[in-house]
């Protein structure tokens, strides 16, 4: 048998083996051929050779794509023959935010599973619907929210004490201070346990949570870490397994201890926590302790880093605009008078209307979650393009917030955009820092109260300054929005 014949047989066998994949790839290429894409896209390889691995450079490449697609409804980024459909504008987002058809997270969220298992962030179908129904009342519970505000105040006071010890003539990256505060808050509000991250207690658990977040981010942007068998052989995989053991054992012990001492109408004198509300529903909803643990782990992950990013970027924008800060200080002084040691109440927070506008404008420019990804569940027409079932849709919140149709001069910081009279007629999908629709952030009210308490407590004591500009930050799209250069902020005592 000649070598040529052997080669032909080999090719035929390959084609038969990968027939389904080849046919699907051809269908995708045909369906999406008219969707704008990079001019440097290569056959078979797509954009793989031009997408940088460095987070900041990758984000700059996305900026290039956005500039090309500013007047387009869709843009496609090709990982080989696999397209990521990029949605940069609010128009058409009802396909994902209205109804329950396209609410399944994309396969890219599979890297969260070892830590979060199938909690609310990663679950789908019937399990997600049941969990959302079970969990929603907890985040509207008046006692839980009232207890949470007490926690916000206590931990914000510790944060301010730590910040007051910093050198007043030096610009500092405040992120580690703010993140420790946010971690203490979410631990106590979720599990009823003060882990003392701000006092460097329980450092093994605290460090494991932070390390797991870093490994997740690293894995998402490095293709050679995607295959599980290879990842588990490398140092990152071994470190993740070590940290998972620490985190899961810690939360399991807390839940077991709380469950043993738990009674339906009392929490043994302890402050009410999210965990207590889950334990109350255990019997009626047929939840196991493992079910409860995956939700606790999920809120531990989602609850600390997002809030810390929102606070840090908002502090930067306040420092960047002295005239905005002056108005904030006037509002703070009007609400609190000379009693700067008084804790914030929910009534105080409702009065801090300009602070809320500033926070929302900061969330517009620096959304902690810069994009979300969904798996399309059925074919649909999007303008003149047919979007196929199974496709990955990446909804870039960072760019949606910069649509000039809804936010003229979109890169300008202007809190007045969020005054009630200026928000009339704005698309419900033009400002979505907590996503939207049935799969929006279940804890957004909790998060807004937390961030406002911490910002108000900081502003009561400090004047914020910075020598940086927005361009100095070197933003990076990861699981969360990151800055590779600061921001660096100087704290000057007001009183």
User: What SS3 state is found at 483?
Assistant: strand
Q: Which two tokens stand for residue 400?
A: 């949606």
Smallest Cα–Cα separation from 135: which of 359, 379, 442? 442
What sign results for the dihedral spanned by CA atoms 125, 130, 135, 141? positive
User: What SS3 state is found at 490?
Assistant: strand
Q: Which two tokens stand for residue 416?
A: 């007045």
How does DSSP assign 397-421, residue by residue?
HHHHTT-TTTSSSTTS--GGGGSGG
Smallest Cα–Cα separation from 476: which of 392, 402, 371, 372? 371
Contacts of 404 (CB under 8 A, 6+ apart): 410
441 is in an annotated binding site: yes
Angle at 486 between CA 340 and CA 403, to 5 degrees: 90
* Angle, helices 203-221/289-320, rounded to nearest 10 degrees: 80
In Å, what is the CA distance from 473 to each residue of 148, 259, 286, 287, 317?
Answer: 32, 45, 48, 44, 12
Whole-angstrom Cα distance, residue 357 to residue 367? 14
CB-neighbour burial class of residue 313 (10 A; exposed 0-12, middle 13-18, buried 19+):
buried
Binding-site residues for heme: 441
Binding-site residues: 441
């Amino acid at each position: 048998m000649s070598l040529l014949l052997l080669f032909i047989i080999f090719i035929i066998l390959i084609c038969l083996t990968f027939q389904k994949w080849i046919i699907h790839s051809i269908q995708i290429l045909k369906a999406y051929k008219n969707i704008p894409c990079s001019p440097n896209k290569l056959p078979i390889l797509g954009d793989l050779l031009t997408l940088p691995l460095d987070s900041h450079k990758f984000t700059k490449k996305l900026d290039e794509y956005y500039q090309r697609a500013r007047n387009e409804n869709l843009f496609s980024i090709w990982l080989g023959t696999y397209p990521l459909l990029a949605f940069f504008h609010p128009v058409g987002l009802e396909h994902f935010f209205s109804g329950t058809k396209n609410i399944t997270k994309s396969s890219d969220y599979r890297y969260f599973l070892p830590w979060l298992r199938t909690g609310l962030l990663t679950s789908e179908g019937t399990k997600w619907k049941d969990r959302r129904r079970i969990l929603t009342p907890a985040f509207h519970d008046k006692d839980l929210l009232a207890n949470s505000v007490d926690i916000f105040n206590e931990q914000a006071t510790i944060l301010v004490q730590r910040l007051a010890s910093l050198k007043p003539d030096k610009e500092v990256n405040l992120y580690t201070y703010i993140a420790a505060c946010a971690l203490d808050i979410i631990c106590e509000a979720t599990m009823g346990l003060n882990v003392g991250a701000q006092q460097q207690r329980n450092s093994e658990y605290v460090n494991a949570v932070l390390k797991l977040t870093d490994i997740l981010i690293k894995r998402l942007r490095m293709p050679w870490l995607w295959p599980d068998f290879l990842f588990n052989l490398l140092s990152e995989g071994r470190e993740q397994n070590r940290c998972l053991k620490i985190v899961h054992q810690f939360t399991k012990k807390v839940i077991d201890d709380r469950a043993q001492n738990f009674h339906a109408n009392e929490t043994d004198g302890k402050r009410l926590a999210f965990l207590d509300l889950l334990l109350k529903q255990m019997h009626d909803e047929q939840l196991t302790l493992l079910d409860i643990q995956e939700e606790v782990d999920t809120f531990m992950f989602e609850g600390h880093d997002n809030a810390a990013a929102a606070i840090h970027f908002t502090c930067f924008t306040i420092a960047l605009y002295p005239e905005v800060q002056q108005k904030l200080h006037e509002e703070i002084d009007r609400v609190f008078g000379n009693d700067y040691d008084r804790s914030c109440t929910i009534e105080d927070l409702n009065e801090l209307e300009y602070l809320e506008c500033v926070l929302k404008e900061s969330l517009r420019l620096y959304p902690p979650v810069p994009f979300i990804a969904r798996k399309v569940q059925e074919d649909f027409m999007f303008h003149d393009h047919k979007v196929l079932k199974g496709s990955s849709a990446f909804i870039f919140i960072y760019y949606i917030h910069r649509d000039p149709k809804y936010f003229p001069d979109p890169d300008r910081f202007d809190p007045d955009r969020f005054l009630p009279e200026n928000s009339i007629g704005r698309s419900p999908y033009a400002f979505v820092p907590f996503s939207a629709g049935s799969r929006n952030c279940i804890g957004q009210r909790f998060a807004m109260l937390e961030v406002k308490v911490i910002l108000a407590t900081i502003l009561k004591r400090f004047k914020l300054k910075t020598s940086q500009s927005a361009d100095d930050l070197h933003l990076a799209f990861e699981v969360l929005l990151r800055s590779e250069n600061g921001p660096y902020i100087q704290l000057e005592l007001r009183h």
